[in-house]
Chains A and B, each alone.
Chain A
Amino acid sequence: MKEIQLFQDIVARPYDYARNWKKEHSRKIVGHFCSYTPEEIIYAAGALPFRIFGSGDAVSRSDEHLQAYSCSFVRSALADGLTGKLDFLDGTVFPHTCDTIQRLSDIWRINSGPGFHTDIGLPVKLNTASAGEYLKNTFKKFKTELSGNLGTDISADALISTAVLFNRLRRDMQRIFDLRREDPTVISGGDLQTIVKASMIMDRDAFSENLSAVVDNLKAAPSRPPKPLKRLVLSGGMCNISSMHALIEDCGAAIVRDDSCSGARYFEGAIRPDGDIIESIAERYIEKIECPAKHADLFRRGEALVETAKTSRADGVIFLFLKFCDPHAFDYPYIKGLLDKEGVASMLLEIEAPLPSEEQVKTRCQAFLETL
């Protein structure tokens, strides 16, 4: 499918895409690290919100700033920031996430990472009135700061139309996730992951247009004979290893749901496009299922994963964590216990980018699939 090819080309060389886009459109680009970044506000300002995954090159530059016990995502992002790979960025935004990102922000600022630097002091709690008020105030403050940094006004109209656009593309993404849950042969997990990544770096209008075409094609596609694949759910944090989904599926599985930060969770919920629009944007972040570095409920994340496993008729769950990622590692025993109780098999894959050995991952996946 040529639409998917377009996504693939972009995702294979995201930095080239960003540079060209900038030249072509004479617009600005704002880098960020986390799914709690209010991308809507950045896009409404006329700039491109660009999620930094880290290219995995020249990571040794990070050794001057970070100990070996930091996650490979942060190490690789920092290396890119320090070696000029991200020089197309007009600024970088750091929402409060985990202890590691928090220090990355300091290190980035002290060593003059590209462009302006903004910390968004998000609350860690999301379940109280005062935290909700604070989150909204933080977003409002961010809007003011951003508009100063970019030298542009951010109008309510622009925010509303951005909200509508983001709602549409999130809904379309949910559609693909749902289609695939019903019939994993419609699109491969690797391709879907490519689309997900594209959604975090591409011009969102162009992305949305291309995405609609993909949805139409997938719906129109003649149904294929079902394959005897094991149905898996992925759960975890940010996955910056692009080959991971394909690697797992090649072992004879279909990833029927990706529940990670860089998977379906990123597209949850919709913005009410009325009232104080910044507050509406904030509300979506408050209501969606929290990332493990946040606090809303002691049980919701675990219960949601059990529910996801059930509704997607999963044969098993793979926890895909980056090594040294504390928030996910703390939740693992509890959530695994819940799955055990429900009779859902699971396996923990702790990975680092670049993968030391693809073979080893394959062997473990195959062994796991055989037990299902």
Chain B
Amino acid sequence: MSDQTKPADPEKEKRKIKAVGKMKEIMTAYYIEAKTAEQTGRKIAWITSGGPVEPLIAMDVIPVYPENHGAMIGAAKMGPDLCEKAESMGYSRDLCSYARADIACAPVNGGPIGGLPKPDMLICCNNICGTVLKWYQVQARYFGVPLFIFDTPFCHTVFSAEARRYVRRQVDEYIQFLEDACKRRLDKDRMQAVGRLSLEGQRLWQAVLDTTAHKPAPMSAFDAFFQLALIVTLRGTQTVVDYYTALLAEMKERIENRISAVPKETYRLLWDNLPVWYRTRWLSEKFAAHEACLVADTYTSAWCGTIKYIDENDFLGSMAEAYSRIYLNIGVDEMANNVIAMIDKYRVDGVIMHSNRSCKPYSFGQYDIRKIIQRERGVPVLLIEADMVDERSFSESQVETRIDAFMEVLK
């Protein structure tokens, strides 16, 4: 987001979340650390956004997230260029734009931060999609580094006993893989401590998201899209705990002082699917102009949705189930139940579904979820066609018309 140097509007200033500056600092320091890892002798692992990062933290490996990179590329509006480049390399335009952008970045160190630091290893957990498997295979061939696949069988209706045993065995294989790569044993106490911090971080993140149940909401989903970065990248560190503790305090303060994300919050909406990274500002202003606030979303809550499966005293053991049952690795009906629970919890008046060409596992099933929530809660649903990074699949005028029409229905 571009910071304009106009005289500050006090009304707007008041609404700015103060923690943002700190977050930028932390993320900058994190990327500098990752980019200089070669000099400091630390290892780098590329890992999928839903992957088990805690053992990496416990082993002092720096986790790097190509998907987070994808989001940065999208927000910097560099998506179409890089996607086209991937297409010229032979990758179909119908593939996930995170994958396309990242694959195209690697050989040229492109993108907003001059490419990601080279990986020493790749950790791919398929609990979000099958795309990451293919994407990480591509990168494993390109970088010639070891690839660990953490295979979490899809839980259509159950997490079977067979699957539990399989995933649990892989936790041990994963640790072995890291010990081989780092030529060091895992410190069990350290692992346990990281596990506790991870859980604490997730609880705090959930608490932050919960504050928007308040009317008016102190922050919006657009803020959550930004604030999310830490729980994704540095889960399991004290930094995350400290940051979200402060953020939570700020949100509570805002509630007390009746500072809301949207000046006159009349309508409360729920967002489904990934953000449209290159249009977050535009969308947020668009909804605000209709006095609507996106108070919750299914995306950012995915990083704290499986707290109930985690056993504080046996993090590694319980991690198998927690990582297998995340939001995208469950059946459409269970997803619909989650959405319904959110509609109730956040007292939502309408749902915006981003039908995201890039993300098939997130988008296929949306029509049925729409039907289910309309039946169960009678809440209107708007579907907008877009893509999270590839702006070529976005028609501003069409989306605008649809939002305007939808808001008329709500009114």
**A residues apposed to B, CB below 8 Å:** 64-67, 69-70, 94, 96, 98-100, 102-107, 109-111, 119, 121-125, 128, 130-131, 133-134, 137-138, 141, 292-293, 295, 298-299, 323-324, 326-327, 329-334, 336-337, 350
B154 in complex: contacting residue of A70, A121, A299, A331, CB < 8 Å:
A121
| Residue among B99, B137, B154, B364 with max Cβ neighbours from chain A (10 Å) | B364
Q: Is B314 an interface residue (CB 8 A)?
A: no
B177 → chain A closest CB, angstroms:
11
Pairwise interchain contact B160-A121, C-beta atoms closer than 8 A: yes
Q: What are the nearest 7 A-B pairs in CB distance?
A: A333-B90, A330-B134, A103-B364, A134-B166, A106-B332, A130-B169, A329-B92
- The interface residues of chain B lying within 8 Å CB-to-CB of A98 are 130
Q: Report whether A329 and B91 are in contact in the complex, using a CB–CB cutoff of 8 Å.
A: yes
Q: Using Cβ atoms and an 8 Å threshold, which residues of chain B touch A336?
A: 90
CA distance in complex: A70, B367 (Å): 13
User: B333 at interface (Cβ–Cβ under 8 A)?
Assistant: yes
Of B25-33, B65-73, B145-153, B196-204, the one touching chain A = B145-153
- Given known A-B contacts A102-B361, A103-B364, A106-B365, A130 and B170 have beta carbons under 8 A apart: yes
Verify B153–A96 contact, CB threshold 8 A.
Answer: yes
Does chain A have a CB within 8 A of B129? yes
Contact of A326 among B360, B366, B372 (CB under 8 A): B360
**Complexed CA–CA distance, A300 and B163 (Å):** 27
A100 touches B332 (CB 8 A): no
Measured between beta carbons, the chain A residues less than 8 angstroms from B331 are 106, 109
Contact (Cβ within 8 A) A109 B156:
yes
**Number of B interface residues, CB 8 Å?**
48
Contact partners of A141 in chain B: CB under 8 A: 160, 162
Other contacts beyond A69-B94, A103-B365, A330-B99: 11, CB < 8 A: A99-B129, A100-B360, A106-B332, A123-B166, A124-B130, A124-B151, A125-B151, A131-B166, A137-B162, A137-B166, A329-B91
Cα distance A137–B160 when bound, in Å? 11
Judging by beta carbons under 8 Å apart, are A134 and B163 in contact? yes
Q: Please name the residue on chain A nearest to B328 by beta carbon.
A: A99
- The minimal Cβ–Cβ distance linking A92 to chain B, given in whole angstroms, is 13
Interchain nearest-CB distance for A124 vs B (Å)? 5
Cβ 8 A contact of A67, one of B90, B130, B355? B355
Interface assignment of B283: CB less than 8 Å from any CB of chain A: no
Bound-state CA distance A138–B169 (Å) is 15
Within the complex, the shortest CB–CB distance from A271 to chain B, in Å, comes to 21
Residue of A nearest to B333 (CB): A110
Residues of B within 8 A of A94 (CB): 156
CB pair A295–B165 under 8 Å, yes or no, is no
Interchain CB contact under 8 A, B141 and A334: yes
Q: Which residues of A contact B126 (CB under 8 A)?
A: 124
- Report 13 cross-chain contacts, Cβ distance below 8 Å, ordered by A residue: A67-B364, A69-B360, A94-B156, A103-B365, A110-B372, A124-B130, A128-B173, A293-B130, A323-B94, A326-B94, A326-B96, A330-B99, A332-B90
Closest B residue, CB atoms, query A106: B332
Neighbouring B residues of A107 by C-beta, 8 Å: 332, 364-365, 368
Q: Does B193 contact A (CB under 8 A)?
A: no
Q: Determine whether B357 belongs to the interface, using a CB cutoff of 8 Å to chain A.
A: yes
Question: Among the interface residues A106, A111, A134, A334, which one has the most CB atoms of the partner chain B within 10 A?
Answer: A106
Which B residues from 84 to 99 make CB contacts under 8 A with A?
89-92, 94-96, 99
- A107-B364, A123-B151, A298-B147 known; A130 vs B166 contact (CB < 8 Å): yes
Neighbouring A residues of B89 by C-beta, 8 Å? 333
Report the bound CA distance from A332 to B134 in whole Å: 11
Question: Nearest chain-B residue to A64 (Cβ)?
Answer: B367
Distance A69 CA – B372 CA, assembled complex (angstroms):
22
User: Residues of B at under 8 Å CB distance from A?
Assistant: 89-92, 94-96, 99, 126, 129-131, 133-135, 137-138, 140-141, 147, 149, 151, 153-154, 156-157, 160, 162-163, 165-166, 169-170, 173, 331-333, 355, 357, 360-361, 363-368, 372
The CA-CA distance from A133 to B170 in the complex, in Å, is 12
Residue of A nearest to B360 (CB): A99
Name the CB-closest residue of A to B361.
A99
Q: Contact between A327 and B90 (Cβ–Cβ < 8 Å)?
A: no
Docked CA distance A293–B153 (Å): 13
Q: How far is the CB of B355 from chain A (nearest CB, A)?
A: 6
Distance in angstroms between the alpha carbons of A109 and B368 in the assembled complex = 11
Tell me if A329 and B130 are in contact (CB < 8 A): no
Best-surrounded residue of A123, A141, A293, A331 (most CB of chain B within 10 A): A123
| A69 cross-chain contacts in B, Cβ below 8 A | 94, 357, 360, 363
How far, in whole Å, are A128 and B96 apart by their CA atoms in the complex?
28
Establish whether residues B361 and A121, one from each chain, have CB atoms under 8 Å apart when the complex forms: no
Tell me the smallest distance from the CB of A112 to a CB of chain B, in Å.
12
Q: Are A332 and B166 in contact (CB under 8 A)?
A: no
A126, B94: Cα distance in complex, Å: 27
Cβ of B363 and Cβ of A298 under 8 Å apart? no
Report whether A121 and B153 are in contact in the complex, using a CB–CB cutoff of 8 Å.
yes
Return the chain A residue nearest B155 by Cβ. Answer: A121
* Residues in A neighbouring B137, C-beta threshold 8 A: 295, 298, 330
Contacts of A133 in B (CB 8 A): 166, 169
A122 to B357 alpha-carbon distance, docked (Å): 26
Q: Which of chain B's residues have a CB closer than 8 A to the CB of A119?
A: 154, 156-157
**A219→B141 CA distance, assembly (Å):** 44
* Contact in complex: B162, A111 (CB < 8 Å): no
Task: Give Cα A295 to B149, complex, Å.
Answer: 9
Closest to A297 in B: B137
A104 to B151, CA, bound (A): 20
Contacts of A64 in B (CB 8 A): 367
Tell me the nearest residue of chain A to B157, going by C-beta: A119
| Bound Cα distance A34, B141 (Å) | 27
User: Cα distance A330–B91 when bound, in Å?
Assistant: 6
The closest CB in chain B to the CB of A107 belongs to: B368
Of B94, B169, B170, which contacts A329 at CB under 8 A?
Answer: B94
Closest chain B residue to A119 by CB distance?
B156
Smallest beta-carbon distance A20→chain B, Å: 33
Whether A105 contacts B156 in the complex (CB less than 8 A), given A67-B363, A99-B131, comes out as yes
Q: CA–CA, A123 to B364, complex, Å?
A: 21
Asked whether B332 lies within 8 Å of A103 as measured between CB atoms, the reply is yes
Set B140, B333, B364: member contacting A66, Cβ < 8 A: B364
